[in-house]
Structure 1
Amino acid sequence: MPSFILWVEAFSGLGLFLFGMLFLESEIRQSAGHAFRSIVQRATGTPLRSLMTGLGATAVFQSSSVVTLMALSLVGAQLLTLGSAIAVIFGANIGTTITVWIVALVGFKVDINLVAYLMIGIGGIGGVLVSSEGRWKNHFGVMVGFGLLFLGLEGMKRSFGGFADVFDLTHFASLSPYWFAVMGLVLTAVIQASAASIAIAQSAIFAHIISFDAAAAFVIGANAGTTVTAMLGAIGGTPDKKRVALAHFVFNISTGALALALLHPLIWLVESAAAPLNDVVRIAVFHTVFNVLGVVLWFPFIRLLERLLKRTFKKEPLQVTKWIHKVAVTVPDMAIDALKNEVTTLSQRVEEFALLAIDIPPPKAFEAGLSVDKLLEAPPKHFDIAFDRLYSNIRRHEGEIYRYIILLAPNCPQQEQQVQLLALQRTIAYLATAAKAIKDMLYDIERLYDAASPEEQSFYKDLRYQILKSVLAYHAVAQGAEAEREVLEETYRRVANSYKNSMEVIEAIAKNPAIPSEMTTITVNALHLVKSFTKSLRNALPKGPLLNQS
């Protein structure tokens, strides 16, 4: 077979294997992502339980990178402690050996083409026939993912066998095994999949292209290369996310360094214990042995490692968001929960902005038992607040949420998820309009606050009443008090129909020569803006409570 065809076949096989892995991860994540989050939150009470959770989750997801990124997201969202996350990652390192075992026992033992085509056929037909919104769609997608993975593996096997027949491979024998460790590290760092790198090593040893020593060193390097995924996932995250990524780096690099130092004794141990097995399976044994060895050595020191890591990354990153920057968009279930919390935080910011504008302290406004009239009894006292900065932060907050939704949307193929994103986007749009109405009203409120005439003071009092009444009713409905929805509706109707009564006050202001003529324009403008504010709050609420109660 010409060498060009061999290179194309090898390259295509690797590409198909990688695509199969990514597709498999995506489908499993969609079908089991929410379950994984629930299991992790319940099953990480002790280091041992956390380790077993990481092992089991990696066995299910067929990717330690996915489990690592999910652990980072849970730590960022403060749903998982640093110590538990470290133990989960230790377990994931053992769990990732299962993929290598599947490839070794299935990919090199049976007619893999037949198995691959069968899985793709069943998964493809099933995926077409079932509902596009159900979990069965994802289950059939998992079958297609496994089929593509095995088909790519078969392509690599064939191409490496062709290389063994065509090329003189004697020069590979002269290379030090440590060079193969470097190759494994670099390749895994580039393709972001240690299982694919190890499958390449298994294909090469199956075709007798490299020795067992070289393949073992390559596997050690591939294991160390997975640290790049965690480090990329922690960029810009909370200190705990960075600490978890550092723990992953320290564990994998130290385990790899120890395995390389003990390379020949470990190889002797594996060859002695697994003498009847072929080299492909023995690579799986070797991969398992040194990962288990690393966990056994590090596991007793998890608490010590946690304490040491807490001394690092002391400075919190400057973030206008509270939740979404802690959770990766590649984990849709957790990301949507974080997004709901973030919209709740934005909602609270808009409420506080409106209350401060009318000189009502936000904590006092939400005290139980205080009526609107009671809150307005005390004469308004101006707060020394930089409203421009407050509004600028609200706008930045809105922009970050919009950006997060846009990045998250491609990872949410289910209609229910898309509906939630659209509803949240709609809420943000109306909250933005409400904040803009208050911002545009600030000058008018300032002028009315300093007014001395009874007409202006009456208008100002009514304006404060309407804004406060709207905020309190909106806040109550957003927290789940559906009975207050009618209060907000009534407030909106009152504002919308208040032109007749307000015009009497405005006419009195216009007729009073002691009042500057511009006050007429200010009152008309304020009347329109308070209507826009109340309408926006009313429209920001869905038909049922959307915002998280927090």
Structure 2
Amino acid sequence: MLYLENQIKISAGRAFKTIVAHATATRFKSLLTGLGATTLFQSSSVVTLMALSLIGAQMMSLESAIAVIFGANIGTTVTAWIVALVGFKMDIKLLSYVFIGIGGLGSVLAGEEGRWRNYFSMLVGFGLIFLGLEGMKESFGVFSQNFDLSSYLYSSPYLYAFIGLAVTVIIQSSSAAIAIAQSAIFTHMISFEAAAAFVIGANVGTTVTAILGAIGGIPDKKRTAVAHLVFNLSTALVALLALPWLILLTRSTFPNVDGVVQIALFHTLFNVLGVALWYPFISMLDRGVKHLFTKETIHVTRYIHNVSVDVPDLAVDALEKEMQHLSEKIEEFALLAINIPPPKVYEQHAAVDKLLEQYDGNFDISYEKLYDNIRLLEGEIYRYISLLSAKNTTESYQVKINQYLRQTTYLATAAKDIKDILYDLDRLYNAISSEERYFYKNIRYQILKSVLAYHRAREGESACIDEMEATYKKIADSYRNSMHLIENIAKNTNISSAMTTITVNDMHLVKSFSKSLRNALVLNTNGHIGGEENA
């Protein structure tokens, strides 16, 4: 089950995200999405983890996530039906070898790239499940024939609920735990009542996966895990209290089938009843859990701390958004350094010279704190990229991850350039000579021009992509032809000799800043900009 789930996480993440994007508009659609996705992927744990990742990425509401999990609880019963109708009605050892053989050969022939390798690996996973099930059937049969089990069996079936819960917590798969119960009842090791109680406990045990997946996430992720626990626990308590009547209903519905099929029916029956009881109260449950975890943990990141790297496709989406967040922070840092208010300047469409004249004050801001936060954000992105890189080693995936890594490096360089020029900007603000004030205005002009072009290009204005390239080239040319400016400053005896060095250093830093933004934009637009990245 774990092998199959890992393959599903890799190959089905994007598909599930697409389904969710179009199918969680209403509560009922969300319920059907959870049911359908779990039926398709054969794992409620995978669907639950994906739902947590989507709500962490703020792509799904809390109420929709709860409804998806409700649907997943019904969808997970399909595995028990497959095991009952296929696993115990025929010799599936040969079938398992066929699945493993075709899947193994296909994954080798498919190579390292593409989804087909994962699809074939999923086939191997199904084969391993059938092979494991056949092994359990044989082992339980031998075990029951050679040992006197009467002294080890509990008189009360309710104790088996705790065993089912413990087994599911240990193996992290309610489907596998229920298959164990079906194997035990097939060989007459335990009674139907005991197996039914075991299944109820397994349903509660599966909530541990969601709890573990929510640790360290945003409050809505934790609230979803709590809602999952409340739903499964309350459904289990009702099912245990009504166990004799549920067993009677199960046996009267399918009186002539064996215990293995009846367990699948029982599992479906109490899950459907649980959803039917809770469905009208989803909004109430949503409001109830929203009172929990109100004290939010402060994160320097905005997206990646909400999405587990165990779901690579969703994690890449979160990483892409975090890169935009980092870009916003660096733009803000650069604008504040030249005394331009970030939100207002984007709304205005005045010329750069006019903006510089309009905002000529000097801000009193803790630039060191701003830069420290940017460095922390960069560090968290580097760490996330490192963890994500280990989750998928295919060449195309690694190329994409490496692209984000290089983009982060360029943005980090841009932030460092602004940090290194801060002292000089403050000194130049109080300058008296016309040469120094001209140089100060020129530095502000080049930084503002670069930031505006970069920001508008990120926002999708195609003309600004070319403008960013033109701005960088102009600054680079200005840097190469700067000797006359340096000479004018050096000739003025009222200007300290240190200012000559400051001029050279600052022009180099501004050029580096513009180049770093330009190179980051090249990567962000997949090279759709004039010139090479390192030009």
TM tier relative to shorter chain: over 0.9
Amino acid at match of 1:74: L
| Counterpart for residue 272 of structure 2 | 292
Deviates more, 1:199-208 or 1:221-230: 199-208
The question of whether the paired residues in 2 share the 8 Å contact of 1:444 and 1:523 is answered with: no
Give yes or no for the alignment of 1:378 onto 2:371: no
C-alpha distance in 2 between matches for 1:172 and 1:273:
31
| Counterpart for residue 329 of structure 1 | 309
Runs (5+) with no aligned partner, structure 1: 1-20
Shift of 1:358: 0.7
CA offsets 1:36-65 (integer angstroms, 9 cap, x no match): 212112112222221111111100111111
The correspondence for 2:263, drawn from 263, 269, 283, is 283
Shift of 1:225: 0.4
C-alpha distance in 2 between matches for 1:112 and 1:379:
77
The correspondence for 1:117, drawn from 85, 97, 120, is 97
| Counterpart for residue 168 of structure 1 | 148
The question of whether the paired residues in 1 share the 8 Å contact of 2:168 and 2:206 is answered with: yes
The question of whether the paired residues in 2 share the 8 Å contact of 1:69 and 1:233 is answered with: yes
Give yes or no for the alignment of 1:54 onto 2:34: yes
Runs (5+) with no aligned partner, structure 2: 528-535
The CA RMSD over aligned residues, in Å, is 1.9
CA offsets 1:303-362 (integer angstroms, 9 cap, x no match): 111121222222222111111122222222222111111101100111111111011111
Q: What SS does the aligned partner of 1:337 have?
A: helix
Shift of 1:246: 0.7
| Counterpart for residue 10 of structure 1 | none
The question of whether the paired residues in 1 share the 8 Å contact of 2:417 and 2:510 is answered with: yes
C-alpha distance in 1 between matches for 2:307 and 2:282:
24
C-alpha distance in 2 between matches for 1:500 and 1:53:
60
Q: What SS does the aligned partner of 2:335 have?
A: helix
The question of whether the paired residues in 1 share the 8 Å contact of 2:340 and 2:359 is answered with: no
| Counterpart for residue 351 of structure 1 | 331
Shift of 1:371: 1.7
C-alpha distance in 1 between matches for 2:56 and 2:359:
44
Give yes or no for the alignment of 1:339 onto 2:316: no
C-alpha distance in 2 between matches for 1:417 and 1:190:
32
| Counterpart for residue 531 of structure 2 | none
| Counterpart for residue 65 of structure 1 | 45
Amino acid at match of 2:294: K
| Counterpart for residue 478 of structure 2 | 498
Give yes or no for the alignment of 1:90 onto 2:70: yes
| Counterpart for residue 530 of structure 2 | none
Shift of 1:427: 0.7
| Counterpart for residue 484 of structure 1 | 464
The correspondence for 1:42, drawn from 22, 46, 52, is 22
| Counterpart for residue 264 of structure 1 | 244
Q: What SS does the aligned partner of 1:497 have?
A: helix
Shift of 1:489: 2.8
Q: What SS does the aligned partner of 1:381 have?
A: coil
C-alpha distance in 2 between matches for 1:489 and 1:82:
43
The correspondence for 2:490, drawn from 510, 513, 523, is 510
Shift of 1:414: 4.4
C-alpha distance in 1 between matches for 2:411 and 2:181:
55
The question of whether the paired residues in 1 share the 8 Å contact of 2:407 and 2:523 is answered with: no
Deviates more, 1:363-372 or 1:252-261: 363-372
The correspondence for 2:233, drawn from 230, 253, 263, is 253
Amino acid at match of 1:72: L
The question of whether the paired residues in 2 share the 8 Å contact of 1:173 and 1:211 is answered with: no
Give yes or no for the alignment of 1:208 onto 2:183: no
The question of whether the paired residues in 2 share the 8 Å contact of 1:478 and 1:546 is answered with: no
Deviates more, 1:307-316 or 1:513-522: 513-522
C-alpha distance in 1 between matches for 2:396 and 2:405:
14
The correspondence for 2:445, drawn from 459, 465, 488, is 465
Shift of 1:255: 0.7
State the identity %.
61
Normalised by the length of structure 2, the TM-score is 0.94
Amino acid at match of 1:249: L
Deviates more, 1:535-544 or 1:281-290: 535-544
Q: What SS does the aligned partner of 1:173 have?
A: coil
The question of whether the paired residues in 1 share the 8 Å contact of 2:301 and 2:380 is answered with: yes
Give the 5 Å matches for 1:303-314.
303-314=283-294
Q: What SS does the aligned partner of 1:172 have?
A: coil
Give yes or no for the alignment of 1:445 onto 2:425: yes
C-alpha distance in 1 between matches for 2:359 and 2:247:
83
Q: What SS does the aligned partner of 1:411 have?
A: coil
| Counterpart for residue 533 of structure 2 | none
Deviates more, 1:194-203 or 1:535-544: 535-544
Equivalent residue pairs, number: 527
Shift of 1:498: 2.9
* C-alpha spacing 1:174/1:129, structure 2 compared with 1 (3 Å): closer
| Counterpart for residue 374 of structure 2 | 394
CA offsets 1:268-297 (integer angstroms, 9 cap, x no match): 222232221111111111111111111111
C-alpha distance in 1 between matches for 2:254 and 2:414:
70
* C-alpha spacing 1:280/1:379, structure 2 compared with 1 (3 Å): closer
The question of whether the paired residues in 2 share the 8 Å contact of 1:423 and 1:542 is answered with: no
Amino acid at match of 1:279: G
| Counterpart for residue 237 of structure 1 | 217
Deviates more, 1:117-126 or 1:40-49: 40-49
Amino acid at match of 1:145: G
C-alpha distance in 1 between matches for 2:479 and 2:206:
66
